[in-house]
C-alpha cells in the first residue's frame, strides 16, 4: 500500500507544530535564565550624593552667623548707592556695550575688534522690568512690581537693607543693586522702574507723590 505524501504531511503537521513550540519555549526559558544569571555583580563603590550632602550639612554649626558675623557686615550684600527721586521723570537710554578685547574665531581670524560697540537690545528681549528702590520704599515696590519683575535694593547713606530678611518677610525674591548694573543703566536715583521698549530702555523715576499713591494708581 502506498501513502500519499501530501496526506502524510497534513497528518504530521500538528505534531511538528507542537514540537516546534516546545523547543521554542525551552530555548526561551534557557535564554531568560542565562541572561538573569550570567556575570558577577558588586555593590556600587561611589557614595550616594544626597547622603554626602546631608552628612556635610550635619557637620556644620547650626548657627552660621557666628562663623560669618551679622549679615549687615557681609560685603556680598552691600548695594550700590542711589539718590532719592524728587520728581516724576521719564527718560530713555541706549545701553551700548563696547568690547574691551578682540574676539577671534578658533582659526585666529578677527571677528570683532577691541572697541567695537553694539546695542544688546537689538538681539535680545528683556521679559521683565527692574523695580529699583531704597529699603524704605519696599511697599511701593510690592505695589508696583508685576509677578515677573525683579525687585532690586539700592542703598541710601547707611540704609542698606537686608534682602534675605525682606524676601522672607514679603514672600518676594529681593536682590541688591550691583555697581556694574547701576553704571550700565545710568541710574542716579530711586525709586525707578526700568523697562525695555524696542532697542531702548525706559527709566521711569517716581517722585514723593507717586511713590505714596494708593495701590492701582501707579503707572
Q: How far is CA 61 from the centre of its chain?
A: 29
Between 56 and 206, residue with greater pLDDT: 206
Between residues 45 and 76, which one has the greater pLDDT? 45
Q: Which domains does the chain have, with CATH numbers?
A: 76-211 (3.40.30)
Tell me the three state secondary structure of residue 10.
helix
pLDDT at 29: 47
pLDDT tens for residues 142-159?
Answer: 999 999 999 999 998 888
Cβ-in-10-Å burial (0-12, 13-18, 19+) of 200 comes to middle
Confidence of residue 60 (pLDDT cuts 50, 70, 90): confident
Q: Is the pTM of this model over 0.75?
A: no
* % of the chain with per-residue pLDDT over 90: 40
Q: What is the pLDDT of residues 162-215, one digit of tens each?
A: 888 889 898 999 999 999 999 989 999 999 999 999 999 999 999 988 877 665
17 CB burial (10 A radius; 0-12, 13-18, 19+): exposed
The per-residue pLDDT for 159 is 81
CA 14 from centroid of its chain's CA atoms: 67
Mean pLDDT of 16-25: 51
Range of weakest confidence among 67-76, 77-86, 95-104, 200-209:
67-76
pLDDT of the residue at 30: 45
Phi, psi of 112 (to 5 degrees): -135, 130
Q: Give the contacts of 193 (CB within 8 A, at least 6 positions apart).
A: 129, 130, 131, 132, 144, 203, 204, 206
Mean pLDDT within 31-53: 72
Instruction: Decide which of 48 and 34 is more confident.
Output: 48
Taking a C-beta distance cutoff of 8 angstroms, is the pair 105, 113 a contact?
no
- DSSP tag of 132: E
What integer is the mean pLDDT of 2-30?
Answer: 49
- Torsions phi, psi for 64 (to 5 deg): -75, -15
Percent of residues, the chain, with pLDDT higher than 70: 73
In the prediction, which pLDDT does 35 show?
A: 58
Residue 134: the pLDDT is 94
| Position 2 confidence tier, pLDDT thresholds 50, 70, 90 | very low
Positive or negative, the Cα torsion across 68, 73, 76, 77?
Answer: positive
In 3-state terms the chain splits into helix, strand, coil percentages (rounded to 5) of 40, 20, 40
Amino acid at each position: 500500500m502506498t501513502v500519499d505524501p501530501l496526506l502524510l504531511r497534513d497528518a504530521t503537521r500538528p505534531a511538528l507544530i507542537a514540537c516546534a513550540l516546545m523547543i521554542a519555549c525551552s530555548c526561551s526559558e534557557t535564554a531568560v535564565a542565562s541572561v538573569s544569571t550570567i556575570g558577577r555583580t558588586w555593590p556600587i563603590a561611589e557614595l550616594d550624593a544626597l547622603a554626602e550632602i546631608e552628612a556635610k550639612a550635619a557637620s556644620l554649626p547650626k548657627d552660621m552667623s557666628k562663623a560669618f558675623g551679622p549679615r549687615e557686615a557681609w560685603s556680598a550684600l552691600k548695594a550700590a548707592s542711589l539718590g532719592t527721586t524728587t520728581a516724576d521723570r521719564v527718560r530713555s537710554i541706549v545701553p551700548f556695550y563696547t568690547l574691551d578685547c578682540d574676539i577671534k574665531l578658533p582659526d585666529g581670524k578677527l571677528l570683532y575688534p577691541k572697541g567695537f560697540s553694539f546695542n544688546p537690545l537689538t538681539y535680545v528681549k528683556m521679559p521683565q522690568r527692574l523695580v529699583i528702590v531704597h529699603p524704605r520704599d519696599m511697599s511701593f515696590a510690592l505695589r508696583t512690581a508685576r509677578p515677573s519683575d525683579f525687585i532690586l535694593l539700592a542703598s541710601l547713606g547707611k540704609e542698606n537693607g537686608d534682602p534675605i530678611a525682606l524676601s522672607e518677610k514679603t514672600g518676594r525674591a529681593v536682590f541688591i543693586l550691583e555697581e556694574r548694573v547701576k553704571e550700565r543703566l545710568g541710574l542716579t536715583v530711586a525709586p525707578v522702574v526700568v523697562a525695555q521698549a524696542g532697542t531702548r530702555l525706559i527709566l521711569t523715576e517716581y517722585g514723593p507723590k507717586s511713590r505714596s499713591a494708593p495701590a492701582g494708581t501707579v503707572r
